[in-house]
Amino acid sequence: MLSEFLEQDKQRKYRLNAKGQMLYRFLKDGSIPASLGISETLGHLAAKGLFLSPLFAQTIKPLRLLPVSLVILLLGAYGASIAGLEPALFFYFEYSTRSPLGIMTLFIFNWIGLFLFAEALAYALFKRAGNELQLFTCVGLAALPLAVYPYLYMAVPIALEGFNLYYMEIEMIRQAILIILQIWSLLLVSAAACYGKGLRLDKGIIISLIAMYLNIAALFMLGKFT
């Protein structure tokens, strides 16, 4: 990042280049012009944060982050059980008739199923095999947004209690939160395929979109959206 604003003189000493001098002047004045390209750098950093790239990069040694991945799955499973939400991979349904243990088991097996699906699809489409433990660790990390949702689901009515909102308004807020977390989790599943199988992002997105499509199709067949 700083290399954009530095140059070397004939004695190989570093100094501010024209762009760096401009940045220095504008920092003194308290404003940064768009022409410096800082926004692009910040956008790159934001993308890395969105895809949890620094975290996924550490899965090259999967045993280091495997406990974190398992904790995420267990916390998501526990949250769904106490909220009474029935997990269906990228979706949740209220008023589950399953026991708390049944809900927890379903949540965990949903993500294990996604791992197995991603493993099979990566081989079928791109002939990528191996690194199963790294892929499993990455898929567990990708579950983070949807593992957090049950807790947000329970927190929304409490946080908004003083606003006297109707039940439907609270449900709309919950759905908006779920949609945001679904999109984030979908992106993280794409990143999981990239890091776990050494795929480019465009190929990782193919795996996550197929998983989402089959998830929706299965739920339609089960009558969950009627």
The dihedrals phi and psi of 223, each to the nearest 5 degrees, come to 75, 25
For residue 26, pLDDT over 50 is answered with no
Q: Which residues of 22-51 are buried (b: 16+ CB within 10 A; e: fewer)?
A: bbeeeeeeeeeeeebebeeeeeeeeeeeeb
Q: Which two tokens stand for residue 40?
A: 């692009």
* Average pLDDT over every residue of 102-129: 97
Query: Scanning the structure block, which residue is given the tokens 């992106």?
Result: 187
Percentage of the chain beyond pLDDT 70 is: 80
Asked whether the beta carbons of 85 and 222 are under 8 A apart, the reply is no
For residue 63, give Cα distances in angstroms to 68, 74, 119, 141, 152: 10, 17, 18, 13, 29
- Judged by phi (left if over 0) then psi (alpha if -120 to 50, else beta), residue 6 lies in beta
The rounded distance, in Å, linking the Cα atoms of 69 and 143 is: 8
**Average pLDDT value over all residues in the chain:** 87
Q: Would you state the pLDDT for residue 1?
A: 46
Contact between 198 and 208 (Cβ < 8 Å)? no
pTM, two decimals, is 0.80
Average pLDDT over every residue of 58-85: 96
